[in-house]
Amino acid sequence: MPLMPYSGEWTRREARHLVRRTLFGARQEDISRALSLGLTASVDTLLSPRGTPPEPVAYVRAGGIHEGNRWSNAAYQAVEDSTLFAFFQTWWISLCLNQEFSIREKLTLFHANHFATAYSSVNDARYMYRQNVTLRAGCLGSVKDLATSMVTDLAMLRYLNGNVNTVSSPNENFARELLELFTIGKGPEAGHGDYTTYTEDDVKQFARVFTGWIDDDTMLKARFVQKEHDSGTKTLSHRFANRTITGGTTESEARLEVESAMNIIFDQETTARAIVRRLYRWFVDYVITDETESTVIIPLAQTLRERNYHVEPVLRELLTSQHFFDERLRGCMITTPFDHVLGLVRLFRPADLFPPDSRHTHWAYRTLRRSMATMGFDVFNPPNVAGLQAYHQAPAFHQMWVNSDTLQKRVKFSNDLISDGYMLDEAYEPSRIDVFAVTSWLTEPRNPHAVVVDVVAQLLTIELDEAQITALTALLSADGNTETWSRNWDAWLAEPNTETTRAPIELRLRALLKAVTSMAEYHVC
Amino acid sequence: MKRRSFLGSTATALSAPFFLHGLAVRAYGRSPVLDALVATPCEDRVLVLVQLQGGNDGLNTVIPLDQYSQYLTVRSEIAVAENDAVRLREDVGLHPAMTGMAELFTNGKLRIIQNVGYPVPNFSHFRSTDIWLTASDEDETVDSGWMGRYLERRFEGYPTGFPNATMPDPLAIHIGTSASFGLEGTRASMGMAFSDPSTYYNISNAGKPIGSSLGQRAQDELRHIRSVGTQIANFAAPVKEASLRANNKSPLYPEGNSNPLANQLRIVARLIAGGLRSKIYIVNQLGYDTHAYQATGGPGTPYPHGVLLAQLSEALTAFQDDLRLLGIEDKVLGMTFSEFGRRVVANGSAGTDHGAAAPMFFFGTTVEPGILGDNPVIPVDASPEDNVPMQYDFRSVYRSILTDWFCLPEATAREVLFREFSRVQIVRGSDVTSVFENLANPAWKVSISPQPVSTTAEITLVAPSGPITISIFDSTGRRLAVTQSEHGGGVFHMTLDVTALPSGRMTLNVAHSEGVVVHGFIVHK
């Protein structure tokens, strides 16, 4: 039975909720767009396929690669590779900051976390970029296809040692994580080496299926080495109904074996449920109650299987459901470091914030990347193959994002960007947002209470109590008198380019934004 | 004399031990009189945990030189050359990269406990890490950490009423961007994370009520964020002050960022010297998951194992030197641990796969110097599945630290660890007689006859009186059978019935409150 569609009213609140969960941050224009489109058309737009973004380039010269040139086909240069990886990260940040009204980047990042692969171990930026292209192109499509492509993905071949998995010395690393993390998941240990969903011997059998593929770093493709492939029959345990996979010798036969293996793994209801739970924890909530399991996870798993493991119909059903907009779940997601950093930057026109040329933008984006890393998210360098802890470490899950260290980093970041000055690049003065951009959010700018309500509505996903609004309103005038703000506002409107009329407005708006972004409420969405 | 199910009773003659080394450990340049007691009062003692993430290869860290030819046979591609190993004893060598730690050993500041693990190995990094951090049995999951449970007994009511005059500081500090799961209490998190204690930022409204109109789940998450905010408000200032109060003194720390572990320990030394009263510090070193190219580094393995061990050795040596120069050497006990060791046999990728038991290091002026436990047995015909079985349960280590270092009453230690575990000697003067000292007597002996065993065999044990636990492990390091018995002292005979056991190499493990002896035997049916 499909999920019950959402039938409540469609207001700014609902539009904001949808935008916050599918994009990085919620710009006023995105919320307005969702509001005017309505739920169905908004979700249609978010889920519509987009073109392929242009390739990353060298933002500064890196060895033999000149500034502005592409490098994804260039010969490997050990010394410069980490520079190329930095270009790749910059390119990713740029895609996120300039994202359209599309779920693509958040969903691609979901897959990158699901099929977690760390550059620190792959050591080839071209591989990392190519894997990301695969994930982005297939982000709305079949997870089964993505899992299949990971068998011969260059970065994955290296990361999980598929490239040394041979008939004479099988390496189980990829097969093990494919089962434990990427697909069916490990159940309770029912007996020696029996994890309910699969057994230790299944790991070995699947590892045999995946033998013979190496990463060719000159041709930049996976190459099949016939003599290293295990051509024997692979017999699975009773957990897979003792099914067998007939061995082959040629490359196309080996691919057929992979296809059979994936058919067997994805034939299991458990696999669909495991993947739906991952999606749910990425877009909705980490708490999965028994009720959620039976009314949301199982029905969506049904859809996932019926639609041949395509993600798009599942997300459509989820994002338009009553459950997604359930009042009990509003604001339950702790903002991720990427939402915190990229979301805040996106609210304030990155083009104004960052230096004009690509070289300095690259350095500035490096700084953003480092900021996110200090908050526990080092993009394309997950802590291990299980990906970010916030999505698998029970019972804390998303709460892993906020601890005594990272909360300080988060508040410092927003304080710096809003007011104290954020050091983007040593060549420049510290950057601060153009706080006057806030004035476009205001419906009654002379009324300080209304100013706070509008700013809070733009920055927060949940509502504040009147006492909190009052406390914030006091920040808008030095003497606490609401008329002071109105007088200052009038003076600035009359002479917008005079420093003495401009300064009080700027000072007060920065103080307000700093206070709102330092509230616990700002860190949930 | 009482017996349990798999053991029958009969008397038989003694035969010689199979592979035990009778060696006294007090052959170091320390005065037994001075060593009798650790002078630091219990309440001032500090524990520093070094987590080696990824599963450290114990056999290439502490090398069994008495079996060098077997070692070379099963690990030819990654073996340490016999003459390169740093000899601690005739039969035990450290990896050549660990000269600093070898010197600590010579100076009586390093203890090694061999073959620490748990009864049924789990080869998942995540699960095994959880087992180590929570001190759970391998077939149960626990939602709190062993250190968290200790700290909540030591500091009752925390966080209510804290900080206070007796504990003005965080109870435990994890140097990094997230606090270890091991510090989770049953009600609250007992530890804090700091990556740079010299700065702090707080959320602005930690104490204010949470809006009652919010969804239930949002309230849960806000409560978490605010409690972190309160923690920062209460504890970040003293941490910052402590970090500024003292300066590192050792010239042995490497310059720059070449050794991240050393940089973390540098902060720890400063905090302790600065007067912080925190009981536990945790630091981490990444990269031990050496599935391929272990000795040389290569795709998938950014740092060769030797480089990691060199960093470990350098970091611990500098830290210990710093503690000495800062005059706080006697307050600090250090310990390394990793989620598992690795397989006995190298894999086909010049690396090693996930294994079972491994050695642990304990460092400081207060450790009982020397080596506890036997060299792991390496059969020349070892199979790829073979593991080092545990000799000491990791919870025996925890128990000994809790009672002998933190002076926790035995009954409380039992609560923290859910049941009784026998002690092992880690802290000097803690009056646990080590098995080696007993063997040197020799008052402790175990033998099995006949060998190989086809139906039944006789176990003969010579040991002091008390309860004993007898376990049988197979060659993959998995416990197949366990029984407990009361021993009245003197010679103890048991009949071992192997009809329920498979054929193969086995290890008999006899644990007594005063030590553990292991003995190999073969079942051949």
> Quick one: average pLDDT of A3-20?
97
The pLDDT, as a whole number, for residue B31 is 34
Chain A CB contacts of B206 under 8 Å are 520
pLDDT of residue B206: 39
So what's the pLDDT on residue B300? 65
Q: How many CB pairs under 8 A join A and B?
A: 186
DSSP tag of A180: I
Look at residue B116 in the predicted model and tell me its pLDDT: 98
Lookup: tokens for A428: 């420049």
Confidence grade of residue A480 (pLDDT, cut at 50, 70, 90) = confident
> Using the beta-carbon criterion (under 8 Å), do A331 and B221 form an inter-chain contact?
yes
Domains along the sequence of chain B with CATH: 26-433 (3.40.720)
Specify the pLDDT at position B487: 76
Q: How far apart are CA A348 and CA A354, in angstroms?
A: 11
Give A467: exposed, middle or buried? Use CB within 10 Å, 0-12, 13-18, 19+: exposed
Q: Is the pLDDT of residue B29 over 70?
A: no
Spell out which residues of chain B touch residue A411, defining contact as CB-CB under 8 Å. Answer: 201-203
- Reported as type and span, the H/E element at residue B87 is strand B86-89
Residue A234, pLDDT above cutoff 70: yes
pLDDT of B279 > 50? The answer is yes
Average pLDDT over residues B482-507: 84
> What is the predicted pLDDT for the residue at B434?
43
Phi, psi of A65 (to 5 degrees): -100, 120
| Residue B211: per-residue pLDDT | 64
Which residue reads 């970090």 in tokens? B243
pLDDT of residue B318: 98
Q: Does B232 contact A404 at a Cβ distance shorter than 8 Å? A: yes
pLDDT in tens, A449-470: 999 999 999 999 988 888 889 8
- B176 CB near a chain A CB, below 8 Å? yes
Q: CB–CB of A404 and B351 under 8 A?
A: no
Share of chain B above pLDDT 70, in %: 86
In whole angstroms, what is the distance from residue A46 CA to residue A40 CA? 10
Residue A129 reports pLDDT greater than 80: yes
Asked if pLDDT for residue B513 goes beyond 80, the answer is no
Q: How many angstroms away from the CA of A483 is the closest CA of chain B? A: 25
pLDDT level of residue B208 (50, 70, 90 thresholds): low
Which of A331, A396, A411 lies nearest to residue B215, judging by beta carbons? A331
**DSSP output for B336-385:** EEES--B-SS--TTSS--B-S-EEEEEESTTBPPEEESPPPP--TT--TT
Mean per-residue pLDDT for B227-245?
87
Mean pLDDT is lowest, of A41-55, B91-105, B293-307, for: B293-307
ipTM for this model? 0.94
- pLDDT tier for residue B200 given thresholds of 50, 70 and 90: low
**Measured between CB atoms, which of A285, A400, A463 is closest to B217?**
A285
Query: pTM (2 decimals)?
Result: 0.80
Nearest CB among A166, A405, A468 relative to B195 is that of A405
Look at B217 and A329 and tell me if their CB atoms are within 8 Å: yes
Burial of B23 (0-12, 13-18, 19+ CB in 10 A): middle
Query: What share of chain A in percent tops pLDDT 70?
Result: 99
Distance, in Å, from the CA atom of B262 to the CA atom of A178, rounded to the nearest integer, reads 35
Average model confidence (pLDDT) across chain A: 94
Question: What is the SS3 assignment for A506?
Answer: helix
CA distance B302 to chain A (A): 6
Instruction: Find the mean pLDDT for residues A242-260.
Output: 97
Percent residues over pLDDT 90 in chain B = 58
- pLDDT above 60: residue A187: yes
Range of weakest confidence among B118-122, B192-196, B269-273, B298-302? B298-302
Of residues B199, B231, B299, nearest to A404 (C-beta): B231
Window from A402-416, B123-137, B298-312, B433-447 with minimum mean pLDDT: B433-447
Note the pLDDT of residue B203.
Answer: 64
Helix (H, G, I), strand (E, B) or coil at B272: helix
A120/B205 touch (CB, cutoff 8 Å), yes or no:
no
Select the more confidently predicted residue: B105 or B516.
B105
- Tell me the per-residue pLDDT of B56-88, one tens digit each, with 9 for 90 and over: 999 999 999 999 999 999 999 999 999 999 999
Question: Is residue A123 less than 8 Å (CB to CB) from chain B?
Answer: yes
Task: Give pLDDT tens digits for A488-516.
Answer: 999 999 999 999 999 999 999 999 999 99
User: How many Cβ atoms from other residues are within 10 Å of residue A228's Cβ?
Assistant: 17
Convert the pLDDT of each residue in B344-396 to its tens digit: 999 888 999 999 999 999 999 999 999 999 999 999 889 988 999 999 999 99
Q: How far is CA B293 from CA A204, A482, B123, B290, B297, in A?
A: 21, 69, 20, 7, 5
Mean pLDDT of A201-213: 97
Q: What is the pLDDT of residue A285?
A: 98
Q: Please report, as a single letter, which amino acid is at residue B402.
A: L
- Give the mean pLDDT of A261-289: 98
User: How far apart (Å, rounded) are the C-alpha atoms in residues B95 and B102?
Assistant: 9
Residue B437 has pLDDT above 60, yes or no: no
A-facing residues of B in 88-147 (CB < 8 A) are 123-127, 138-139, 143
Q: How large is the angle between the packed helices A337-347 and A358-374, nearest 10 degrees?
A: 140
Q: How confident is the model at residue B432 (pLDDT cuts 50, 70, 90)?
A: low
A412 interfaces chain B, CB cutoff of 8 Å: yes
**Cα–Cα distance measured from residue B284 to residue A51, given in angstroms and rounded to the nearest whole number:** 42
State whether A520 and B226 contact (CB < 8 Å): yes
Kindly give, in sequence order, each residue whose CB lies less than 8 Å from that of residue B229, ignoring residues fewer than 6 positions away.
Answer: A407, A520, B202, B203, B205, B206
